[in-house]
Chain A
Amino acid sequence: MLQAQGISKHFMGIQALCDVSIEVLGGEILGVIGPNGAGKTTLFNVLTGLFFPDTGTLTLQGRQITRLKPHRRVKLGMARTFQNLEIFRDMSVLENVMVGGHIRLKAGYWCSMLSTSGKRCEERLLKEEAFALLELLGIADKAPQPAVSLSYGNQRRVEIARALISKPAIIFLDEPAAGMNPRETQELSGLIARLKSSLQLTVVIIEHDMNLIMDICNRIVVMTEGKVLMSGTPNQIRSDQRVLDAYLGGDIL
């Protein structure tokens, strides 16, 4: 599905990523874990096009995308959420999700200006779909509210709905459970697993909640200091001494 080969990225002296190679397989849930500052978010930023890598190549379904702009990658079926909530602050919850469906709307400039029946029809369908997604995420009752009035947990749900409405083939979730309590986290992990099978999604997820990661991931990549420490199945990761060391005997199971 998606291959990253020898990706490096530095910021003014900080080597955030150093020769990282990963492969995401179609239809899997791939977990990315590692201590803070390991370069997980930077990896997402490179994969989704916010930054271009200093070296290395990216291939999406056989297509070179190394220096493709983010909006082009969305059209190829990529969507993401953000660790530091990047919700549209002036918009309602529903409007936020509708913006996520931008590429699904066919009406161009003139049809939009003249408000043709085709344009109104596709808008209505998109709005229904947005409601359905909000329903799925359990926040349909908040649709007309300003998105910023929601709790962090709910803003993360809005971001997930906003990403899903573009009908992505691959979705990147950066700490989607941050700000959620254990019960909510569990609901989310069930939801991600269900979405993956019902929408045939490929999911790449960064998360610190090890229960969620161990529950739903098919494979896990462990990062430290800008490098891939190891990758494997949840069971392999759980029992690996290097991973335990990297977490300094921390919270990993």
Chain B
Amino acid sequence: MSVYIFHVLIMMGIYAILALSLNIIVGFAGLVSLGHAAFFGIGAYVSGLLMINGLGFPAAFFLSGIITSLLGLCLALPSLRVKDDYLAIVTLGFGIIIGLVFLNLEITGGADGLVGIPPVSLMGKPLYSKPGFFGLVAGVLVVMIVTMYTLKQSKIGRAWAAIRDNDVSAAFMGINVYGYKTMAFITSSFWAGLAGSLYAHYTAYINPHTFNMHTSIMVLSMVVLGGIGSITGSILGAVLLILLPEILRPLADYQDIFYGALLVAMMIFRPQGIMGRVKITEMFGRKK
């Protein structure tokens, strides 16, 4: 039983990292990305392949983040020049193309996927225990949350907020709009890559199916459900959308209908998401 609980907790942690990373693009900088699962997948495949080919864990982990962020840069440079509506299409296309690449490359194992990915090893010892792996995921998540708060609280966070709000006047504040949008994509894809790496080493087996449109939409739903731009919201969104299928397992056939209804209901009754603009520090005490 406790093994099962830790499995759910690990999934929540990995998807919280993924949702938070998407929130940098969508919530902080006010852009769209409909292909976020591609970054998740790139991180997973890169990390898996690096470790299969003999690299140690911390190195493969960081390299997967860096290589994924380089691909984020490659996507950002041409697509952030176009207007926002096109960005949705470009990121959607990127997601589909990367999915096809995973499916058709020999090195990624095609439709069969990548088997036998070595487990995480810390200081030479493989980490098989689920609570131990959860500790690792939680540690990465905490580091990410802290850096997201500090970034949000800095001139970079303000520049992103300005761009999201009004990119014309942002430029007249001396903000390099294109540069800061690119920075949001790089930061976001870095963390999505790390989430992918954790996923790959946790499951030991990955296939293209995990990194398709469905996942992109699910992660976007987590961000929207929790509240666009809210850090606690993205975590809550991930927790809820990982938990629901577990609870609703007997109703698995209707799961997608439930998701859809949930999102529509959110849009109608609470478009700002569960957390909305409420800061978690304001939820307790201080209520005017």
Contact = CB atoms under 8 A, between A and B. Distances in A.
B175 A71 contact: yes
Contacts of B164: 90
Contact of A91 (B147, B161, B176): B161
Interface in A101-133: 102-103, 105, 107, 109, 112-115, 119, 123
Interface string A89-100: 111000100111
Q: Which of A50, A99, A119 has the most CB of B within 10 A?
A: A99
B159 A109 contact: no
Contact of B155 (A48, A82, A105, A166): A105
A162 interface: yes
Contacts of B252: none
Nearest to B183: A109
B122 interface: no
A219 interface: no
Contacts of A86: 166, 168-169, 172
Contacts of A115: 150, 153-154
Interface string B157-184: 1110110111011111111110000010
A23 to B, nearest CB: 22
B127 interface: no
Given A90-B161, A90-B165, A91-B161, A109 B173 contact: no
A79 B156 contact: no
A103 B171 CA distance: 11
A79 B172 contact: yes
B155 A113 contact: no
Given A74-B172, A75-B174, A119 B154 contact: yes
A48 to B, nearest CB: 7
Nearest to B30: A90
Nearest to A75: B174
A70 interface: yes
Contacts of A162: 173
A10 interface: no
B151 interface: yes
Interface residues of B, number: 26
B173 A100 contact: yes
A208 interface: no
Interface in B213-264: none
Contacts of A119: 154
A63 interface: no
A80 interface: yes
A91 B165 CA distance: 9
Q: Which of B150, B157, B158, B174 has the most CB of A within 10 A?
A: B174
B147 A113 contact: yes
A99 B168 contact: no
A74 B169 contact: no
Interface string A216-250: 00000000000000000000000000000000000
B165 A89 contact: yes
Nearest to B164: A90
Nearest to B152: A112
A99 B158 contact: yes
A187 to B, nearest CB: 25
Nearest to A165: B173
Contact of A112 (B154, B161, B170, B176): B154
A102 B154 contact: no
Interface in A178-226: none
A88 B166 CA distance: 7
B172 A109 contact: no
Contacts of B176: 69, 71
B165 A107 contact: no
Contacts of A99: 158-159, 161-162, 170, 173, 175
B165 A70 contact: no
A107 B155 contact: yes
Given A109-B156, A113-B151, A71 B177 contact: yes
B171 A112 contact: no
Contact of A102 (B150, B153, B173): B173
Interface in B137-154: 147, 150-151, 153-154
B161 A88 contact: yes
23 contacts: A49-B171, A69-B171, A70-B171, A71-B171, A71-B177, A87-B169, A88-B162, A89-B165, A90-B161, A90-B164, A95-B158, A99-B158, A99-B159, A102-B158, A102-B175, A107-B154, A107-B155, A112-B154, A112-B155, A112-B157, A113-B154, A115-B153, A115-B154
Interface of A: 48-50, 69-71, 74-75, 79-80, 82, 86-91, 95, 98-100, 102-103, 105, 107, 109, 112-115, 119, 123, 162, 166
Given A70-B172, A88-B161, A112-B155, 9 more contacts: A70-B171, A71-B173, A71-B177, A91-B162, A95-B161, A98-B158, A99-B162, A113-B151, A119-B154
